[in-house]
Structure 1
Amino acid sequence: MTTLGAVRRRLFGIPSAEAVFSRPGFAPEAWERFAPVATSLMEGYHAALEDPGLPALASRLDAVEPSLQGFAYEGAGMGLAALDAVAPWRRRLDAFVAGPGARHVYPVYVGAGLAYARLRRTPESRLAHLDPLLGWVTADGYGFHEAFFKRRRYVERHAVPTRLTEYGRRFFDQGVGRALWFSSGGVVDRVTGLVAGFRPERHADLWSGVGLASAYGGGVDEAALRSVLAQARAFRPQLARGAATAAWGRRIAGNPAAHTDLACRVFCEASAAEAADVVEEAARDLPVISVEPRYEIWRRRIEDGFAARRPAGRPR
């Protein structure tokens, strides 16, 4: 590590992932089940701080176990976005997404959203600099951070982020849903109880985050996933979309995981490969110019794609 890298880590680093998971409100199962996820993210974050040079950074990230590489790239996105805030003329995040981070663009942008939250910057103010379709994912990372690190305000008191637009708040809630899954250690009754405490109009996006987190991060068996589905059956389209998005992200990154396939079979009634196909098909011919955000059109098409696959008369 260079002297400058050591300084950056001292200024921006996070001392202990386990300490974060030990704070009030986190289930004991959270660290037991998701320690590899947390440590991989921290590895990517600190790698970016210590040496943001793209070849060296990519080498460190690719050394992480394949099923966990997405979390390492998420951490790198967080680190690079933080460095760009200090030296915006460097545009490290853009170069990373255009280069070695291209296959992991979804988690990289989630990580950037984490950084924006830590730096008190709204993700929507950065959209013009990001991919026109996937840039919205930064608001998901923003929501995850706030629910994870400001739990009392955003989970217990159900605060609404006033600095985001109405549409940005939907992605914020997806990030909150992901945070609920990880901080609850995938304990289904705990997750369900927390989601129930939010206003009903927020539930769909919260459950989409649960679907995404449970499919991408795993942590539980088939029985637990079927329990999620049983308790949130009204939101099966959102659970399916979240799981399918995880499968699509793993496809383009080339790091499939058995737990992602399992979640797709439960929530989507399809394999991970079939679910990723639905996501890819939904992205075809999206309008270049639209009053409605292109990402929202994509999300709705994904849900409709799974609805079309279900035989008539089958419950949603």
Structure 2
Amino acid sequence: MAGLLRSLRRRILTPNIAETKLAVRGFHVKDEAARELLEKIGEIFLTGFAYAVESGTTAEAEERLEQIPERFRGFAYEGAGMGFAILDCVTFGDLRRVRSLLAGRGERHNYMIYVGIGWAMARLPRFLWPKSDTLDPLLLWLVHDGYGFHQAYFHTDRYVRQQRPETGFGWPAGQEAYARRAIDQGIGRALWFVGGTDAEQTVKLIESFPRERHADLYAGTGLATTYAGGATEDELLWLRHQAGAHLPQLAQGSAFAAEARIRAGLLVPHTRQATQIICGATAEQAAETCSKTRPDSSLPGELPAFEIWRQRIADAFVSLGGVTP
């Protein structure tokens, strides 16, 4: 009976895979290989989500998540983060399942799981949102990244074509100004998908936004380009050149992606190539830069420690000479 209920829960909660098709989304199609890549990522994300909502325990879900191929496993954990967060929030579970996932093998995928929480919040009414003080104060801004990605991916007209900024987010309390910036980082990541992994299309989308939003959008694009892949060497070189004054932010996002993949043991060739071109460093060096510059989460100041971290990473690549703004 329990297995039947979990199977029913999966059918009710799991989004339709058709929603990830580029034709349905109206996204740019660069070529067949790019279309297959982006649709495969969407499929694996939903697979991870389904594993979470139909599993009896987080350990059971982990066993299945670990069978996903390395290139796509992080996306499965991101989907699982969303699935467990939804289950926790609708049952007022105070992110109990999410914390259990983070305490196990999911700890290596903590960045992706935090992003998945943001996906869940985008699908839930605000009274069900988790309390921000239950999360790591440094990493909680990745929740906003996930929220921003979701909104740009599923509500592309409003968030990308009309470029309407998020207002009244108010989570955490009193941090609305930076919340908008963190959401933009997720929107920038989504632009790589909306643009079909086409560097020229993605840059056109970024440049169509108000200039004050470009830095965070380029950071998100750098992360997606490096983590998801889909670009040739020539496209990466062109993207690096076009970023111009925002190259340090593009590199910061790329370094975050390298850190996330190396931390999870999922380093793949396209990540190595992207960090070498965008950051002027190896993936290992980029990840080490993230580790060395990581601040204490309680760092005082007007800006969140997360933003201080991002600035330190960007500045480090400039100082090393691999990035010239």
In the superposition, the TM-score normalised over structure 2's length comes to: 0.91
Alignment of 1:24-39 (within 5 A): 24-29=25-30, 31-39=35-43
1:292 matched to 2:316 = no
Separation in 2, partners of 1:52, 1:148: 30
Q: Which residue of 2 aligns with 1:65?
A: 69
Displacement after TM superposition at 1:131 (Å): 1.1
Going from structure 1 to structure 2, the CA distance change for 1:290 and 1:96 (only over 3 Å counts) comes to: farther
Q: Is the 8 A contact 2:89 2:128 kept in 1?
A: no
Q: What is the aligned counterpart of 1:195 among 195, 200, 206?
A: 206
Separation in 2, partners of 1:302, 1:295: 11
Separation in 2, partners of 1:142, 1:11: 21
1:81 matched to 2:92 = no
Q: What is the aligned counterpart of 1:236 among 225, 244, 247?
A: 247
Q: In structure 1, the residue corresponding to 2:59 is in which secondary structure?
A: helix
Q: Is the 8 A contact 1:33 1:185 kept in 2?
A: no
Displacement after TM superposition at 1:22 (Å): 2.0
Going from structure 1 to structure 2, the CA distance change for 1:122 and 1:231 (only over 3 Å counts) comes to: farther
Q: In structure 2, the residue corresponding to 1:23 is in which secondary structure?
A: helix
Q: Which residue of 2 aligns with 1:153?
A: 158
Q: Which residue of 2 aligns with 1:14?
A: 15
Separation in 1, partners of 2:301, 2:41: 37
Instruction: Tell me whether 97-106 or 237-246 shows the greater mean CA deviation.
Output: 97-106
Deviations 1:145-183 (A, max 9, x none): 000001111111111111221101111111111111012
Q: Which residue of 2 aligns with 1:181?
A: 192
Counterpart AA for 2:99:
D
Q: CA RMSD in A?
A: 2.0
Counterpart AA for 1:134:
L
Q: Which residue of 1 aligns with 2:234?
A: 223
Separation in 1, partners of 2:253, 2:7: 37
Alignment of 1:138-149 (within 5 A): 138-149=143-154
Q: Which residue of 1 aligns with 2:316?
A: 305
Counterpart AA for 1:95:
S
Displacement after TM superposition at 1:285 (Å): 5.2
Counterpart AA for 1:80:
F
Displacement after TM superposition at 1:288 (Å): 4.3
Alignment of 1:249-288 (within 5 A): 249-283=260-294, 287-288=298-299
Going from structure 1 to structure 2, the CA distance change for 1:180 and 1:264 (only over 3 Å counts) comes to: same
Deviations 1:69-104 (A, max 9, x none): 110000000001110111123611122112221110
Separation in 1, partners of 2:138, 2:227: 20
Q: In structure 2, the residue corresponding to 1:232 is in which secondary structure?
A: helix
Q: Is the 8 A contact 2:255 2:275 kept in 1?
A: yes
Deviations 1:242-282 (A, max 9, x none): 01001111111111111111111111100000111111110
Q: In structure 1, the residue corresponding to 2:131 is in which secondary structure?
A: helix
Separation in 2, partners of 1:14, 1:286: 34
Displacement after TM superposition at 1:122 (Å): 8.9
Separation in 2, partners of 1:291, 1:125: 24
Counterpart AA for 2:158:
R
Separation in 2, partners of 1:123, 1:114: 13
Going from structure 1 to structure 2, the CA distance change for 1:275 and 1:286 (only over 3 Å counts) comes to: same
Q: In structure 2, the residue corresponding to 1:134 is in which secondary structure?
A: coil
Q: What is the aligned counterpart of 2:111 among 106, 110, 119?
A: 106
Which contiguous aligned blocks of 4+ residues in structure 1 show a shift greater than 3 angstroms? Answer: 17-20, 120-126, 284-291
Uncovered stretches (5+) of structure 2, i.e. residues with no partner: 170-175
Q: In structure 2, the residue corresponding to 1:101 is in which secondary structure?
A: helix
Separation in 2, partners of 1:195, 1:122: 33
Separation in 2, partners of 1:284, 1:19: 36
Separation in 2, partners of 1:139, 1:175: 7
Displacement after TM superposition at 1:39 (Å): 1.6
